[in-house]
Structure formats: C-alpha cells, structure tokens
C-alpha cells in the first residue's frame, strides 16, 4: 500500500435557493431544471478512501460504525463507476466522518458524495477538473454536484435533446455575486425521514398535478435568482427563494400519496419569519426534504435574526456563512 492509494477529502453541505426537484434521467441523475445553492461553512464531511488490492469487497464505515446496508450499497455502486473509469478494479475501504450534530436533521448527502467523489477519484488516479468532479458527484447524489464548489453554485440542467446530456450537466461557481448573505438554520425536532428525497422526488414527478407548473416557474426563477445575486439585491433573491421552496413543498403535498416533510413546528417558524419581515426585518425562508427551516438574511444581521427566532420559537439556531469548495487533504496517512 502506498500513500497514492489513499486520499482524504472534505466537503461542505449546500442549501439550494432555487431547488432541484425532479430528474429527467434516474440512472445518470440528470435534473429536469437547473438549480442554484449556497455552500455552507458549517458541518463538513471528511471521507477517506483507501484502495485495498487484496480485499474481496469494499468496506464502508460512517462515524466509526459500519454503514447501514442502504448507505453501503449506494457507496459501492458509486465506487463501481469510479472503477469502470479508472480501469482499476481494486476494492476500497471508505471511512466517512460527519460533523453535523446527531438529530439536527441537517445531515447531507451533498457533502458526503462531494467528499467521496474527490477522495475516490484521487485514490483511483482519475485526473478530473472541478467540472468533471461535479459531473461525477452528481451520479452519487444530484445536490452533491454543487458541493464541489464554494460560495454560490449553479448546476445546469441539460437540454434533453443535447447529444451528450451527461457532459452538459455540471455545477460551477456563480461568479460576480454581490450579496453578503448568511443562512440561519432553525433546528427543529427531527424524527426519521418519512421518505427518502430520492423516492419523494420520483413520486412527485409521477403524480403531482402541480409539478409541471412548479417546474416552469423554477426555470424562470433560476435566471431571476442569478440576476438578483449578481445585482446585490438580497430582497429579490429572498423572495424568489421562499416562493420556490414553498412551491416545491406544494408539489410534494399534492403527490399521491402526499409527502409531508414540514411539520407544525416548521409552519410556526415560517409564521415568525413572516412576522419579522412585516416588522421590517430582512429574512426569507427555505426548506428541503425535512422539517428544518433555513432563513436567508444579510450576514451582518444574522446573529440578531437568529436570536429573535430562538426567542420567538424556543428552537436552537445556527448561523451559516458561505463555505469553501471541496478540498483534498495533503499527504494523508494510509487508512488502516
Ligand atoms: C430538496 O440531491 O438528495 O435538497 O439526486 O436523488 O440523491 P438525489 O437527491 P438529493 O435531493 C436534494 C433535494 C433538495 C433540493 C436541493 O438540494 O436542490
């Protein structure tokens, strides 16, 4: 075993301001519409991948324990992709460490697959630029394509008629952003997810009568969001983000059978965000496949808004600023 056979990478979660919800290709993980996110400076995932030339199978551990069967299966499928591309059939030992507090409901497949992509691509000697890494991370989990990048990232949907839609679907840094934004995450009590986001997305596309309307709105929201961020107009960005997220949840709630990620607590936080806004506050909500509410606001007002939300709702909050891109650790020791 040489050092070259082991690589360690860290990546951060991201929160979409224009959401990815719905695939045009399940196998290639190609989205129906583009999306735009902010990578967070908190809760990174660090993953080490060590090639094991003599091992008979991959091993996957998460936070020091063997991964669940479902997680291990997804990681092994992803390693299979890497093995195909690298022409190296070695099995690997994968060890992942998350820093998100247990039960906070902010665990992220985006940071996980972005870190795994960078570590595995390096351990297997694939020489990929950020765009190539993003396309590969996408195959693990769509939102991971964006966590390869820091700051604000834009993930392109391919034109379904494009000669090679796989090549056309990657994320990249959104240049020229002129807002100084933060996201305040309000940490609600989270139980187990009622349904995985992958399955929920599939069911929504297949059954929600509201989905086509949301999809066309999202395709308009994306260029508007981009323009708002580049113009330094956080209020416009916040309004688009909140509408886009509420619309996405409406599509899930109108799916058959319906999918409810938001709870009574989520709706109470949403009311508070509206109340703060009515009183002149600059804050707008977004929610993903879980009950937590994340509140977009100017960075210099985030601590105050977090305090107001904690006082009003009794829930813990954490302030996230824009975070860094996925990175490789220099000279990792071979994992054991
Ligand atoms: C609601 O990226 O977890 O967070 O591609 O099936 O792994 P898969 O889905 P995933 O979905 C994220 C959905 C979302 C919105 C977003 O991050 O854009």
Residue pLDDT, tens place only, 273-293: 999 999 999 999 999 999 999
Pairing verdict, β 35-39 and 152-155: antiparallel
Whether residues 234 and 205 fall in one domain: yes
- 262 SS3 class: coil
- Report the candidate in 245, 235, 229, 234 with the shortest Cα–Cα distance to residue 293: 245
Question: Do 161 and 188 share a structural domain?
Answer: no
Give the chain's mean pLDDT. Answer: 95
Please enumerate in sequence order all residues whose Cβ is within 8 A of that of 67, keeping only pairs 6 or more positions apart, or say none. 60, 61, 75, 96
Rg of the chain on CA atoms, in Å: 20
Specify whether 64 is located in the same domain as 33: yes
Domain stops at, among 176, 198, 227: 176
Kindly report the protein residue whose alpha carbon is nearest to atom 1 of ligand 1.
Answer: 288
Segments forming the whole domain that contains residue 145: 6-176
73, 150: one domain: yes
Give the single-character DSSP code of 68.
Answer: P
Ligand 1: does its nearest atom lie under 6 Å from the Cβ of 29?
yes
CA of 144 to the centre of ligand 1 (A): 8
117 & 159 share domain: yes
pLDDT confidence band for 335 (50 / 70 / 90): very low
In sequence order, what DSSP letters do the residues of 199-261 get, joined into one string? Answer: HHHHHHHHH-TTHHHHHHHHHHHHHHHHHHHHHT-HHHHHHHHHHHHHHHHHHHHTSSS----
Mutate to test the pocket of ligand 1, among 71, 136, 142 (most ligand atoms within 8 A of CB): 142
The answer to whether residues 167 and 200 belong to one domain is no
- Nearest 10 degrees: Cα torsion 160, 164, 167, 171: -10
Mutate to test the pocket of ligand 1, among 11, 138, 201 (most ligand atoms within 8 A of CB): 201
Residues 27 and 106 in one domain: yes
Task: Note whether residue 299 is domain-resident.
Answer: yes
How many structural domains does the chain have? Answer: 2
User: What element of type H or E holds 61?
Assistant: strand 59-62
Q: In 3D, which of 286, 226, 295, 326 has the Cα closest to residue 16?
A: 286
pLDDT at position 2? 44
Kindly state whether residue 187 falls inside one of the protein's structural domains.
yes
148 DSSP assignment: T
Residue 274 belongs to domain with CATH number: 3.30.70.890
Which of 31-45, 71-85, 187-201 has the lowest average pLDDT? 187-201
pLDDT tens digit sequence for 21-51: 999 999 999 999 999 999 999 999 999 999 9
């Amino acid at each position: 075993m040489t050092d070259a056979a082991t690589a360690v990478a860290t990546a951060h979660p991201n929160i979409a301001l224009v959401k990815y919800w719905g695939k045009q290709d399940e196998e290639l993980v190609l989205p129906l519409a583009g999306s735009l996110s902010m990578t967070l400076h908190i809760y990174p995932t660090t993953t080490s991948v060590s090639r094991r030339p003599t091992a008979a199978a991959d091993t996957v551990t998460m936070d020091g324990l063997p991964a669940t069967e479902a997680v291990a299966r997804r990681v092994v499928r992803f390693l299979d992709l890497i093995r195909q591309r690298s022409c190296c059939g070695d099995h690997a030992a994968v060890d992942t460490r998350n820093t998100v507090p247990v039960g906070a409901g902010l665990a992220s497949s985006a940071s996980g697959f972005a870190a795994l992509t960078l570590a595995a691509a390096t351990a297997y000697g694939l020489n990929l630029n950020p765009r190539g890494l993003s396309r590969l991370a996408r195959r693990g989990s769509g939102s991971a394509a964006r966590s390869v990048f820091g700051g604000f990232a834009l993930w392109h949907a391919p034109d379904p008629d494009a000669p090679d839609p796989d090549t056309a679907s990657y994320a990249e840094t959104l240049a020229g952003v002129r807002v100084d934004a933060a996201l305040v995450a309000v940490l609600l009590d989270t139980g187990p997810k009622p349904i995985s986001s992958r399955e929920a997305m599939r069911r929504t596309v297949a059954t929600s009568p509201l989905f086509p309307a949301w999809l066309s709105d999202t395709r308009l929201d994306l260029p508007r969001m981009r323009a708002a961020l580049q113009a330094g107009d956080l209020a416009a960005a916040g309004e688009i983000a909140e509408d886009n997220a509420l619309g996405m949840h409406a599509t899930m709630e109108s799916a058959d059978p319906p999918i409810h990620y938001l709870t009574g607590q989520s709706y109470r936080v949403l009311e508070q965000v509206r109340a703060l806004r009515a009183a002149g506050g600059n804050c707008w909500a977004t929610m993903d496949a879980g009950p937590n509410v994340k509140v977009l606001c100017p960075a210099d007002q985030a601590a105050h808004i977090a305090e107001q939300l904690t006082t009003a709702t009794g829930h813990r909050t954490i302030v996230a600023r824009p975070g860094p891109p996925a990175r490789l650790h220099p000279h990792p020791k071979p994992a054991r």
